[in-house]
Amino acid sequence: MRRFTFVARLGVGDNAAISLVQRDSTVIEVQFIGAYQRLEYGVGSALDFLKAHDLKPSEVAVDLMILAALLNAADTRVSRVRNSQNGWTREIDLVVPVSDPTLWTAQAGALGEMLRFLTGDYWRIFFRQRPSSLNQIAPTPTRLPLQHFDEVCLFSGGLDSLIGAIDLIAGGRKPLLVSHWYDGETSKAQKAVWSKLEGRYSNVGVKVMRTRLGFDRYQVQTGEIENTQRGRSFVFFALAALAASALTGNVRIVVPENGYIGLNVPLDPLRLGALSTRTTHPHYLAMFNALLDRLGIAATLDNPYRHKTKGEMVEECAEMALLKATVPLSMSCSSPAKARYRGLSPRHCGTCVPCLIRRAALKKGLSTNDPTLYLVPDLEVGRLDTTRAEGEHIRSFELMIARLSANPACASALARIPGPLNDEPAELNDFVEVFRRGILEVGELLDGVEAGPG
């Protein structure tokens, strides 16, 4: 087991000595200032977009984005299997140059707790003063903004974010959409979905801030890779906060995610680790909002669909014709590239947890057949092997469906397993009910599906 210390550097002149808390820690330095004195790893491109639209984010929001990018480097380049005692929990320190070390150091404890909840790892975050030449990183616009955005909305290229964008724009709002990507399939879906929205709402002037965020093996040379990516929503939220800090007033950041997957109750005990994420869990959103408040960033994360299943989101979409036309372009699958192993182009596998929830939602909400291209197009064509990927998750859902059918009251306890639900006590029953309805929604899809070992 190794502890890692990731150190963010801002330029070749940023060579201040770093005091290690543990001397046996493996130090990885990440240089954020590249050619042409520009911030790398997606931070610079986000700042370029805002500057092009005459928007200036706060320096504290820039700090948050650099922290998020460094966290992303550590999260994706330190193997859990090779660097933990239990095959999961890593120990990672981050050293981040910021505009106000006193302000940030006061948040270190809460940040560590939040990241522990999100990723399952032990994080310690240390802050130091930026180099004096970089007291201001965000460029100052030379003119007043020509466009006004009402709010910020996360835009992943998935079905939920598609519905979120449609509902906002159809409702007369003008959101600034925020996207990040690393792999090609995510980028492809975002571009395709955005093209449809742009064509439909060309008169509204909605914009999307797309940023490539990620680190390859040459940029962060640990010699390792980690694909669980439990920290990805911290990066997404930080990017949205960066954009929101450039707007006026207290800005709402819309997090369009169905309530069932927001809770993401593990279907079986084995899913408490890698297969059960907390990326949009209500408790995590509450912790992130508290952080924004303490940092003085006037923005609030809000998931307006936290009490809706995915099928209910589809069913209630403000523009059904546009949704139907765009559904095939959206991407929900956790591993669309696996189709290449069968000599096929990337597509939804059809049997992972996100695909099953998507199929159930479209069955419930669309008045037509599901237009999505699936690797397994028909779940009822034959017996699905539960010892293989095609049937593994179906069996897990079937077990949970049977459990709730036998004891409906257990939904209240199960809904609390991923994390506390006491940040909004009045909503507790709503969360329990959206979990129950979400399971029943998938149950409707699996009625008639045969799955078993061998």
pLDDT digits (tens, 9 = 90+) for 374-426: 999 999 988 999 889 889 999 999 999 999 999 999 999 999 999 999 999 99
Rounded CA-CA distance 95/17 in Å is: 11
Minimal CA–CA distance to 69: which of 7, 140, 131, 111? 7
The per-residue pLDDT for 227 is 84
Chain CA centroid to CA 66, Å: 17
Q: How sure is the predictor about 363, in pLDDT bands with cuts at 50, 70 and 90?
A: very high
The structure's pTM equals 0.95
Residue 444, pLDDT > 70, answer yes
The per-residue pLDDT for 273 is 44
Chain CA centroid to CA 292, Å: 17
Sheet strand arrangement including 122-129: 26-31, 4-9, 91-98, 122-129
The per-residue pLDDT for 276 is 65
pLDDT, tens only, 129-169:
999 999 999 999 989 887 899 999 999 999 999 999 999 99
Q: How sure is the predictor about 274, in pLDDT bands with cuts at 50, 70 and 90?
A: very low
Pair of tokens at residue 274? 């890698």
The DSSP annotation for 278-296 comes to -TT-HHHHHHHHHHHHHHT
pLDDT, tens only, 42-84:
999 999 999 999 999 999 999 999 999 999 999 998 999 999 8
User: First and final CA of the chain: distance in angstroms?
Assistant: 37
pLDDT, tens only, 283-310:
999 999 999 999 999 999 999 999 999 9
**Helix or strand run (H / E) with residue 427:** none
Long-range contacts of 195-204 (CB under 8 A, 24+ apart): 196/322, 196/325, 196/326, 196/329, 197/162, 197/165, 197/166, 197/169, 197/322, 197/326, 200/319, 200/322, 201/169, 204/169, 204/174
